[in-house]
Structure 1
């Protein structure tokens, strides 16, 4: 029986972290066990396993068709599951690649348009983090994030070259992004984006605009521009349930 490392978090979270590490180490190349298999291996309930796999599916690391056992997502384009709180850092790292960032800006600014989206006044001071995101040193996305500066100043001292923003936000500021909304559209890359991502002219990209919520209130505005050849939207649907989130 596999033993989980002791910790303060819930059992499903520790199980999830262990499975994520095993995926990154390539342990499941021959096949990923189903819920029964993981429950027996770790000595936990199937409910705990389901909770652990839910986020892994949302991150695109594990997929499962109806009636089939989960499997590790195939290499190639990263899958954006509809309806999921998606982490690019975890998705890239979990696929066995190293996610790094070239930080282009980490400073306090003002932006009336962003402040309005957050439901705040135009003079709101914002922490702006701008990065080029890479997978195994290959440019993948251009990412801009704005957060209220008064509640996120500890992030100004963080080295964002190899870490997840949401992890740092939770650990250093006590803030958790728990949901929100996204708008996703196809576009042609402008010249600065083509240069940052090493794309030809013309080049198609996918633009993702996110409004993240913390404790039910708008807290994050994010704009991510991803290479279209590295990005896939994933969803499942049925006649009874309509569309529902899935990763593949």
Structure 2
């Protein structure tokens, strides 16, 4: 039976989630660049049923990280769908491609109390939260900015981590053992105010796509996020 030491959380993870987190770590390390194993092979490797493997793979498939076609071996998506901007946003030409080559400039990285964020996360107002703020630069000027609040009991290993070339979701999975596999998000069109224009190096009034997001692991909210992206650089795709 597959087992893995718990990290960053006091609640036990089910077997399928531990397998999911382990596979995520292996994917991000580049282990499966030549092809991804099938369900039968993974079931034998981890010593679990095929149904448990399907549960572990479901979030990876729904996020577009594992791509399967009938009659073909599964493949790993070579670009990173879990970027600092989130899983549903993608860059338009000429910025499309492997956006992991860009850089994240972290402007805030500290533990704090925030009543609004705590309320969105469904925790007590005096719960310590890790607050991260950043701008994302694909290759030159920034195209997005964001703020993220995560209960410190989940994210304490991230308090001193360098996010220049990685993302919050990736490190939550790899470092903390917490996989973001659901949530809800609201998008709206806005005009850049003076503060946003200064951060994004654009003119006030520039069209932006603003969002608020609650990210969850299973049924547990683990992150509250707000942010804005240049409208000219972003497309949004939803499956239905």
TM-score by length of 2: 0.64
| Partner Cα separation in structure 1 for residue 206 and residue 127 of structure 2 | 35
Deviation at 1:9, TM superposition (A): 5.1
Q: After TM superposition, list the pairs within 5 Å mapping 1:179-218 onto structure 2.
A: 179-218=182-221
Deviations 1:178-207 (A, max 9, x none): 110000111111111111111112211001
SS at match of 2:199: helix
8 Å CA contact 2:89, 2:236 repeated in 1: no
Per the alignment, residue 230 of structure 2 pairs with 227
TM-score by length of 1: 0.62
Deviation at 1:138, TM superposition (A): 2.7
In the alignment, which of 110, 128, 134 is matched to residue 107 of structure 1? 110
Q: After TM superposition, list the pairs within 5 Å mapping 1:32-43 onto structure 2.
A: none
Indicate the RMSD between aligned Cα atoms, in angstroms. Answer: 4.1
Hey, which of these two has a bigger chunk of strand by percent? 1
Per the alignment, residue 155 of structure 2 pairs with 152
Per the alignment, residue 97 of structure 2 pairs with 95
Runs of 4+ more than 3 Å apart: 8-11, 41-48, 54-60, 84-89
8 Å CA contact 1:143, 1:225 repeated in 2: yes
Q: Is the alpha carbon distance of 1:137 and 1:59 closer, same or farther for their aligned partners in structure 2, counting shifts above 3 Å?
A: farther
| Partner Cα separation in structure 2 for residue 45 and residue 150 of structure 1 | 35
Gap regions ≥5 residues in structure 1:
1-7, 22-40, 65-71, 73-78, 237-243
8 Å CA contact 2:150, 2:223 repeated in 1: yes
| Partner Cα separation in structure 2 for residue 123 and residue 209 of structure 1 | 22
Deviations 1:51-82 (A, max 9, x none): 99x9588469x9x9xxxxxxx9xxxxxx99xx
Q: Is the alpha carbon distance of 1:121 and 1:198 closer, same or farther for their aligned partners in structure 2, counting shifts above 3 Å?
A: same
Deviation at 1:115, TM superposition (A): 0.5
| Partner Cα separation in structure 2 for residue 206 and residue 164 of structure 1 | 20
8 Å CA contact 2:216, 2:223 repeated in 1: yes
Q: Is the alpha carbon distance of 1:114 and 1:222 closer, same or farther for their aligned partners in structure 2, counting shifts above 3 Å?
A: same
Q: What count of residue pairs does the alignment treat as equivalent?
A: 190
| Partner Cα separation in structure 1 for residue 213 and residue 36 of structure 2 | 38
Deviation at 1:165, TM superposition (A): 1.3
Per the alignment, residue 165 of structure 1 pairs with 168
